[in-house]
Amino acid sequence: MSASLSSSISSAGRVLRSIAYFKRLSYQTRARLSADIAFVGLALRTGCLIDTFIPEKPRECFHALLSALRGDPSTRSMASNISHLYEPASEQSFLVNISLLRRRIEKLLAPEVEKTPVLVLVKLFPGSQCELQQHFPPGLTDLLCVLLQMIETESNRTDPILLPDDVWMDDAVPLTALILDYLVAYIPTSDPGKIAPIFLCGVPVRTYECVVTFGAHPIPSGSSAKRERTSVMKFSCPQSLEEEEAMISPQVVVDGLSSLFEGRLTQIGDESAKFEIVCGGVTFDRLAL
CA distance 128 to 198: 8
Whole-number mean pLDDT of the chain?
88
Residue 61 inside a domain? The answer is no
Evaluate whether residue 178 is within a structural domain: no
Structure confidence at residue 152 (pLDDT): 87
Cβ 265 vs Cβ 39: under 8 Å: no
249 lies in a domain?
A: yes
Please check the confidence at residue 109 and state whether its pLDDT lies above 60: yes
- Phi and psi angles of residue 9, each rounded to the nearest 5 degrees, phi first: -65, -40
User: Nearest to residue 246, comparing CAs of 124, 125, 137, 120?
Assistant: 120
pLDDT digits (tens, 9 = 90+) for 68-103: 999 999 999 999 999 999 999 889 999 999 999 999
- Domain presence at residue 263: yes
Task: Give the end-to-end CA distance of the chain in Å, rounded to a whole number.
Answer: 37
Kindly report the backbone phi and psi dihedral angles of residue 28, in degrees, each rounded to the nearest multiple of 5, phi listed first. Answer: -65, -40
Looking at the domain assignment, is residue 227 inside a domain?
yes
Residue 125 has pLDDT above 90, yes or no: no
Q: Is the pTM of this model over 0.85?
A: yes
In this structure, is residue 97 part of a structural domain? no
Task: Tell me the CATH number at 239.
Answer: 3.30.1280
What is the spatial distance between Cα 230 and Cα 272, in angstroms, rounded to a whole number? Answer: 13
Interatomic CA distance for residues 19 and 12, integer angstroms: 11
| Residue-range definition of the domain harbouring residue 279 | 204-283
User: How far is the C-alpha of 21 from the C-alpha of 19, rounded, in Å?
Assistant: 6
The answer as to whether 224 is a domain residue is yes
The predicted-structure confidence for 33-71, as pLDDT tens digits, reads as follows 999 999 999 999 999 999 999 998 999 999 999 999 999
- In a domain, residue 3? The reply is no
Count of domains observed in the chain:
1
The string of DSSP codes covering 50-100 is: E-S---SSHHHHHHHHHHHHHHSTTTHHHHTTEEEEEETTTTEEEEEEHHH
